[in-house]
């Protein structure tokens, strides 16, 4: 085992003896371990989307993503402002997930542009020995939060399609510039923090992730155990997870020496569209599996591409010629539905709402979601959108005008959506 693997193993094995019971679930150890490949999308979740086992595991990942919000320091007077409040060893415990069964190996930072300072965006973790036995494999997890800072909101409004140019020279030689993704998400993924984060975020979000995930896969691939990669994120974080899945599969980071592929699965909570039809086709070709968890009333899942998308350009209709220039969802949808009163519309995109709907059989779920939203200041992500859109200006750009561009969605090819 390489030195890197030995270091990680040293952290994992003592924890395996001491961990408290994992997050409360109704599924059994045998059920998850026996069907883990199906749960990761080996057959595109055929016949199990409504199953309790899948929803329990998806909710578990949702809680691991939710920790990114709970640990993000928004106090402008804090030394850790816009970084994680806690060190890696205690972050999950501080967020109420002491028994989650994962060991964080690295924090990840992202800059919304090359001129911006890096902000803490999430973490990379590995399942400990006890959890690995329960779920049937060693799981390498990357967890991303959604949009919070003003710079990230600005990046999200850059909704023109641009060539992805990810996944290595071989991928680009085959696809040229036909594979396109949303420019704002690509900017957050690839921009390097020129000032470098004082908490260790050297290089772009992409560079940090490829180094760490590559290191972990190289470490564990020699153990003889099954290994999976799960990329989980909410909102903008879901888009970053999709870009990472495409990128690492294109680079072959998940391919073992004997040619066997380690499964790469994206679990997207309230995720927007990320790329065009060529991007989707290439993800499918590379074997990247994506489970899109959506709230039927969440408008973010219909952006970008409100009018021109995979549905409106299908078949032989008049919009068919626009197909290759339009945004297209990737993966299989797990749609959740709920009824919201007018005053609750700000909650439709909030991650706590998603977790609550996944655990809909829990009588306390609605109360749980309300408490989580209150902890974040009311309306969660959608509340922040509404607040920001109502402001007059951020820098030189009126938020109202920018929001109208984002919601227009009629002329994508002109860079509006």
What is the average per-residue pLDDT within 389-410? 36
Find the radius of gyration of the CA atoms of the chain: 20
pLDDT digit string, tens, across residues 14-62: 433 333 333 444 444 569 999 999 999 999 999 999 999 999 999 999 9
pLDDT digit string, tens, across residues 219-259: 887 766 799 999 999 999 999 999 999 999 999 999 987 88
What is the average per-residue pLDDT within 403-414? 38
User: Is the Cβ–Cβ distance between 93 and 186 less than 8 Å?
Assistant: no
Give the pLDDT score at 386. Answer: 39
User: Is the Cβ–Cβ distance between 147 and 112 less than 8 Å?
Assistant: no
pLDDT digit string, tens, across residues 134-175: 999 999 999 999 978 767 767 666 668 899 999 875 555 555
Name the CATH code of domain 3-382 (choices 3.30.450.20, 2.60.40.10, 3.40.50.1820, 2.60.120.10): 3.40.50.1820
What is the average per-residue pLDDT within 118-129? 94
Give the residue, 303 or 413, on which the prediction is more confident. 303
* CA dihedral sign of residues 306, 308, 310, 313: positive
Tokens 């408490």 -> residue: 371
What is the average per-residue pLDDT within 206-211? 96
Helical (H) or strand (E) element with 275:
strand 275-276
User: Is the Cβ–Cβ distance between 59 and 355 less than 8 Å?
Assistant: yes
**pTM value surpassing 0.85:** no
Give the pLDDT score at 378. Answer: 42
Q: Which of 277, 291, 183 is nearest to 231 (CA)?
A: 291
Give the pLDDT score at 12. Answer: 54
Give the pLDDT score at 271. Answer: 95
Give the residue, 317 or 176, on which the prediction is more confident. 176
Give the pLDDT score at 25. Answer: 40
Give the residue, 350 or 320, on which the prediction is more confident. 350
* CA dihedral sign of residues 338, 344, 349, 355: negative
Weakest mean pLDDT among 93-102, 214-223, 259-268? 214-223
Measured CA to CA, the distance from residue 408 to residue 327 in angstroms comes to 14
Q: Are strands 180-182 and 227-234 parallel, antiparallel or unpaired?
A: unpaired
Three-point CA angle 344, 350, 351, nearest 5°: 140
Residues with a catalytic annotation lie at: 235, 298, 349
Three-point CA angle 283, 412, 310, nearest 5°: 45
Tokens 């991303």 -> residue: 144
Cβ neighbours of residue 317 closer than 8 Å, sequence gap 6 or more: none
What is the average per-residue pLDDT within 193-201? 56
- Where do the domains of the chain lie? 3-382
* CA dihedral sign of residues 61, 66, 68, 71: negative
Percent of the chain with pLDDT over 70: 64
Which own/partner pairs from 212-215 qualify as long-range (CB within 8 Å, at least 24 positions apart)?
A: 212/105, 212/106, 212/108, 212/124, 213/124, 213/140, 213/142, 213/244, 213/248, 213/253, 214/248, 214/253, 215/4
Cβ neighbours of residue 82 closer than 8 Å, sequence gap 6 or more: 72, 73, 74, 117, 119, 120, 149
Tokens 């002109």 -> residue: 414
Give the pLDDT score at 18. Answer: 35
Give the pLDDT score at 147. Answer: 79
Measured CA to CA, the distance from residue 201 to residue 204 in angstroms comes to 8
């Amino acid at each position: 085992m390489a030195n890197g693997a030995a270091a990680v193993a040293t952290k994992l094995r003592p924890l395996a003896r001491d961990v408290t019971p994992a997050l409360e679930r109704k599924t059994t150890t045998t059920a998850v371990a026996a069907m883990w490949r199906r749960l990761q999308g080996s057959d595109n979740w055929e016949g199990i989307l409504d199953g309790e086992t899948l929803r329990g595991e998806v909710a578990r990942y949702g809680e691991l993503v939710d920790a990114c919000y709970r640990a993000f320091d928004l106090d402008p007077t804090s030394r850790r402002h816009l970084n994680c409040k806690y060190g890696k060893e205690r972050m999950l415990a501080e967020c109420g997930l002491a028994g989650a069964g994962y060991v964080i190996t690295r924090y990840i930072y992202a800059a919304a542009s090359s001129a911006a300072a890096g902000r803490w965006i999430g973490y990379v973790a590995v399942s400990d020995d006890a959890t690995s036995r329960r779920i049937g494999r060693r799981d390498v997890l990357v967890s991303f939060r959604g949009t919070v800072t003003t710079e990230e909101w600005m990046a999200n409004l850059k909704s023109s399609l641009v060539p992805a140019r990810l996944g290595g020279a071989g991928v680009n030689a085959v696809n040229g510039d036909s594979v396109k993704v949303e420019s704002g998400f690509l900017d957050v993924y690839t921009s390097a923090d020129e000032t470098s984060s004082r908490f260790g975020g050297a290089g772009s979000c992409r560079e940090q992730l490829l180094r760490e995930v590559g290191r972990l896969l190289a470490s564990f691939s020699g153990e003889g155990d099954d290994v999976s990669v799960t990329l989980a994120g909410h909102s903008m974080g879901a888009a970053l997870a999709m870009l990472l899945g495409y990128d690492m599969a294109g680079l072959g980071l998940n391919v073992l020496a004997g040619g066997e592929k380690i499964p790469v699965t994206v679990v997207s909570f309230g995720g927007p569209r990320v790329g065009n039809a060529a991007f989707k086709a290439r993800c499918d070709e590379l074997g990247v599996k994506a489970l899109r968890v959506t709230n039927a009333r969440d408008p973010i899942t219909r952006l970008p591409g409100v009018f021109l998308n995979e549905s409106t350009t299908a078949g032989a209709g008049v919009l068919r010629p626009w197909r290759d220039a339009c945004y297209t969802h990737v993966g299989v949808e797990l749609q959740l539905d709920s009824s919201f009163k007018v005053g609750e519309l700000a909650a439709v995109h909030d991650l706590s709402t998603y977790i609550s709907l996944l655990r809909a059989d829990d009588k306390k779920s609605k109360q749980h979601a309300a408490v989580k939203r209150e902890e974040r200041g009311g309306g969660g992500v959608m509340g922040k959108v509404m607040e920001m859109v109502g402001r007059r200006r951020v820098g030189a750009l009126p938020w109202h005008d920018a929001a109208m561009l984002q919601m227009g969605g009629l002329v994508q090819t002109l860079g509006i959506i």
